[in-house]
Structure 1
Amino acid sequence: MQVADTTRTTELGRRLVDLLDRKNAIDAIRTAEIGTIAADIARGVQSLDDAASSSELMRRACERIAELCPATRVVLSHVTGHRIVPVISYSTEFGSAPSLPAPFDVAPGSAEAHALATNGVTSRVTEPNELRKILGSNGFAIAPVAVDGEVAMLVHVDTPLDGPRGHALGVFTEVLGGCLERVGLESRREHQDLLVRQTARRWGSDIDFDTATSPDAAHTEHLDTAQHLLDPLTDRETEVVRLVLTGASNAAIAAELVITVDTVKSHVKRILRKLGVTNRSELIAKYRPTS
């Protein structure tokens, strides 16, 4: 502009103003989009906050993810070792949940493998064969959900995500993992207290007390004894015990607690050792409360 004549300088100045106006307009659009996404995240988080169970929490999460992305189809799956086990499918089109795809292994180099390795949102143009009927053929995105510091679930949506929407899904799944931890902790506290009371009642009905011992003292003694049963166990182990006592399989326990089957097996081994029993049948026979 310093060497241009007046006409050329005026033209360049107009072009510069036009570029600045376009930049400002783009910035304004991006700012508005980010504000909209932030509001969507806030609404989604609010809907998760009062979920009473992990199943209700996951159902609500699928609905909010469909709104946030936006996506037509969402599939939420458990991660069990190197295997993906779909547990919830959600669609805005059908009015009812579409059928779940079959479980499948994590293939080397797949989008699932990349999402698990990076613990971040992954988008691909081609769809995974196992989810073809659910996600369609327009591409997809995957986001991991970490619970207790371990990736326990994967979210599939039927649209590739880049930029703000991809980041928003990552933020939302972090919140979802925290909510699953909270629901699990609350459930474990409730069930631990229930197990203490049931065990105390069982022992109290099986043992005759000295007539000189007051009922209150006897109840306190056996409540303390029942609590002593649980003292060696962690909160997670206590929750596993509760489910084992119902006869639940390792796979069912993993699905309920949103952990892997291998993790359940490790918990069961430690529980058997701590409680001095040799197998699950002996544990059930010895500690399951009688009606």
Structure 2
Amino acid sequence: MKVLVTGIAGFIGSHLAEKLYKNGHEIVGVDNFSDYYDINLKRENARALKNLGITIIERDLRVASLVNALPAEIDYIFHCAAQPGIASTSSFEDYLTNNIIATHNLTDFAAQFLKLKMFINIGTSSIYGKDVFCDEEQMAKPISNYGVTKLAAEQIVMSHSRLGDFPACSLRLYSVYGSRERPDKMFSQLIDCALNKKKFPLFEGSLAHKRSFTHINDIINGITSIIGNEKQCDGQVINLGTDQEYTTAQGIETVERLLNTKIELTMEPARSGDQLRTKAVIDKAQRLINYKPTVNLDDGVLEQIEWVKNKLNR
């Protein structure tokens, strides 16, 4: 099968492309190599994928008319590209153009394929709002520009399924971590602080925040399980995470214990739009795609620690 992966040089996109390639699919990726974080990290991911024989097109999806830029005869589209997070450095226009306009352009492109088997949108639990412990029927109440625009992007994709233009589903991911994680994410920062004796910036009140920290391997297994289950997934929104719940304090303690060190904390003002709790309810994923997350927090964080150490050694 021929698969298009957007945001292929990023954290989730690069892992997804590797897995799909190992499963025997022909992969074409697209990425705009934005400077939201160190572009060299994306270039490194891209080089590794190109060494496998994966084609990567450098293209900004916000530019209309993708017909001549991207390949025809695509079987699956996995849409990972987005303006992520709730960083104060990102403007509303960044979220608007990268999450809504880019998705609109991509769905216009996808609508030309009469034989597209599935458009898989990579969404987020931020769509639900401040305190998340619910199934997919819960009314969305996003509290950040990120959540608002990702909800809009999801609805753009799902509208095409409703209209019969092409089959589509949206996967709402929960607190993904692991090797290649963005440097601004919690475990990346904690490991860096532990190894390099830096202070960890703790947002006020966040020690008690709760998350379903989900390892990248479990997430990728869930995403790729859509292939072969297209009929039951068409038109569906599906949570992907773990039903285990941890506080930020437990996340910090895990890194400290595994690295046998103490991380010094420095207090930062609370972030607007930060969620208090995100616990994944995954009954639907278990039913539709036999989704079974297996990586516990210790093993997952250890995998990320070993990846960081190997990277430093290189």
Structure 1 length-normalised TM: 0.27
More helix by share: 1
Normalized per residue, which structure has more strand? Answer: 2
**Computing the radius of gyration over CA atoms, which structure comes out larger, 1 or 2?**
1
- Give the TM-score of the pair, scaled to structure 2: 0.25
Determine which structure has greater relative contact order: mean sequence separation of CA pairs < 8 Å that are 6+ residues apart, divided by chain length: 2
